[in-house]
């Protein structure tokens, strides 16, 4: 019988901040969203203070001050690199892995893998990266997710690892798990299930498949079968082909000038183009949008968008920037205070499968974009490249607090991806 494990990094963003800053170990820690707006990650100590997920920072200032909560701006370059390190360790230990998110992965376990092996793997990840994880094991993805949830909520008794098959009371775990605690069941579905008299995972497991299918469709019936140990969700070792890539970010301050919007959009296009090149894809369609701040009722609102089918599929940064600039000029209107702009590259096709037209202009043999990508990967990072185009502006720190640049006043260094920001060890 096949078995699956779910490895989940605990409070991942906060844990990454603690790896290189031991001074905040044991203290309440929170990480903020882009522009330092809302709280998107909380340590266990911060959760114990009652700080809610997604709470605006300004609403929690008194709690933060009173309890000396450590506050960090989001540092996705650091988090992405730490995630890659964790995933590389997992790949060494098991034959198959599905990276589900930046802090979660499903593992296809070999026949001889037991709870003792899981504890050793957990210790290895902690020793090699400093990131604490919890591991849940079950015969299906949903059961592995359920086991992980119990292991995380009961770390003192489980040690962060739980094999549902070897647990003395798996039915008790299901009976104690509300339906909205199940993977894939949100608040609205939980209310509909409650109307059927189903409030726990155990009641869901024992429900009539036909009735569940009527309420939740085929996906709901698959979930029920997974709860009963019948695998319906396979591991996806290869990520599915991307259908589109979006690059967008709210501004640190409201922007009115066309020149600043052009610069911001050029940076988003460069990032999106690098992404599709990384996956060997070409864009056949582009969409550009502008947004004012809908929460500022005193300001006039204007939220236009425009799209165009490209003459030929491309991933060339220069071509995409030129097209994006033209689209921006079509929708820009003076007199508005813009909060956000962005670009979406859509209808992506594989570069290997694309057949050029007879009259297409041949591309240069020297692929400048790929050379730049390689240099930036080696010497910088995708969000703070060392080589850029003039249209992206000359201020490369990305931490400015004027104009379109994102606010990140409390960001920690890029400890693992920037030679200039390597952590320093001091001895007395």
Q: pLDDT per residue over 363-389, tens digit each?
A: 665 688 888 888 888 876 666 788 888
Q: How many residues does the chain have?
A: 428
pLDDT at 397 over 60: no
Proportion of the chain above pLDDT 90, given as a percent: 69
Residue 193: both structure tokens together: 């299930």
pLDDT of residue 49: 96
Side by side, which strands form the sheet with 133-138?
96-101, 104-108, 4-9, 133-138, 161-163
Under 8 Å between Cβ of 266 and 321: yes
In the block, residue with structure tokens 């813009």: 338
* pTM of the entire predicted model: 0.82
Cα separation of 230 and 141, whole Å? 10
Q: pLDDT per residue over 248-299, tens digit each?
A: 988 988 999 999 999 999 999 999 999 999 889 999 999 999 999 988 889 9
Domain ranges, ordered by start, for the chain: 244-392
Q: pLDDT per residue over 199-254, tens digit each?
A: 999 999 999 999 999 888 899 999 999 999 999 988 887 666 678 899 998 898 89
pLDDT at 402 over 70: no
* Level-2 CATH architecture, domain 244-392: 2-Layer Sandwich (3.30)
pLDDT of residue 366: 67
Average pLDDT over residues 6-10: 97
Q: pLDDT per residue over 193-206, tens digit each?
A: 999 999 999 999 99
Report the run of H or E that residue 392 belongs to, with start and end.
none
- What lies within 8 Å, CB to CB, of 9 at 6+ separation is 15, 83, 86, 103, 104, 131, 132, 133
In the block, residue with structure tokens 């790929």: 370
Cα separation of 262 and 354, whole Å? 30
Cα separation of 107 and 133, whole Å? 14
pLDDT mean across residues, the chain = 90
pLDDT of residue 427: 73
Cα separation of 385 and 267, whole Å? 10
List 4's β-bridge partners, or say none.
108, 138
pLDDT at 405 over 90: no
Cα separation of 188 and 201, whole Å? 16
pLDDT of residue 249: 87
Q: pLDDT per residue over 283-339, tens digit each?
A: 999 999 999 998 888 999 999 999 999 988 999 999 999 999 999 999 999 999 999
Q: pLDDT per residue over 46-67, tens digit each?
A: 999 999 999 999 999 999 999 9
Average pLDDT over residues 340-356: 87
pLDDT of residue 400: 43
DSSP 229-284: T---S---SSPPPPSEEEEEEEEEEEE--HHHHHHHHHHHHHHHHHHHHHTTEEEE
């Amino acid at each position: 019988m096949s078995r699956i494990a779910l490895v989940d990094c605990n409070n991942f963003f906060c844990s990454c901040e603690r790896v290189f800053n031991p001074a905040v170990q044991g203290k309440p820690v929170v990480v903020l969203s882009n522009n330092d707006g809302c709280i998107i990650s909380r340590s266990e100590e911060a959760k114990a203070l009652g700080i809610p997920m997604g709470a605006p920072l300004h609403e929690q200032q008194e709690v933060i001050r009173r309890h000396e909560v450590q506050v960090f701006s989001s540092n996705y370059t650091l988090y992405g690199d730490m995630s890659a390190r964790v995933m590389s360790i997992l790949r060494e230990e098991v034959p198959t892995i599905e990276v589900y998110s930046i802090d979660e992965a499903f593992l296809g376990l070999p026949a001889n893998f037991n709870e003792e092996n899981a504890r050793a793997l957990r210790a290895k990840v902690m020793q090699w990266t400093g990131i604490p994880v919890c591991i849940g094991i079950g015969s299906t993805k949903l059961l592995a997710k359920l086991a992980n949830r119990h292991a995380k909520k009961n770390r003192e008794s489980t040690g962060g690892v739980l094999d549902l098959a070897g647990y003395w009371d798996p039915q008790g775990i299901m009976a104690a798990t509300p339906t909205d605690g199940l993977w894939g069941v949100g608040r609205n579905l939980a209310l509909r299930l409650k109307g059927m008299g189903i409030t726990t995972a155990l009641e869901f497991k024992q429900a009539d498949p036909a009735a569940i299918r009527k309420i939740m469709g085929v996906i709901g019936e698959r979930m029920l079968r997974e709860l009963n140990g019948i695998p319906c969700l396979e591991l996806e070792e290869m990520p599915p082909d991307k259908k589109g890539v979006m690059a967008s970010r709210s501004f640190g301050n409201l922007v009115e000038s066309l020149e600043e919007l052009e610069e911001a959009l050029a940076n988003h296009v460069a990032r999106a183009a690098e992404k599709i090149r990384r996956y060997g894809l070409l864009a056949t369609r582009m969409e550009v949008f502008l947004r004012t701040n809908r929460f500022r009722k005193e300001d006039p609102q204007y939220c236009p968008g425009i799209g165009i089918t490209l003459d030929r599929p491309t991933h060339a940064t220069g071509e995409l920037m030129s097209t994006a600039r033209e689209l921006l000029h079509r929708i820009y209107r003076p007199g508005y205070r813009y909060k956000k702009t962005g670009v979406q590259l859509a209808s992506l096709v594989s570069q290997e499968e694309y057949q050029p037209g007879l009259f297409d202009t041949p591309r240069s043999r020297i692929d400048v974009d790929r050379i730049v990508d390689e240099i930036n990967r080696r010497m910088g990072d995708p969000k703070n490249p060392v080589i850029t185009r003039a249209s992206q502006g000359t201020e490369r720190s990305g931490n400015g607090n004027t104009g379109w640049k994102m606010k990140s006043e409390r960001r920690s260094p890029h400890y693992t991806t920037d030679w200039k920001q390597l952590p320093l060890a001091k001895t007395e």
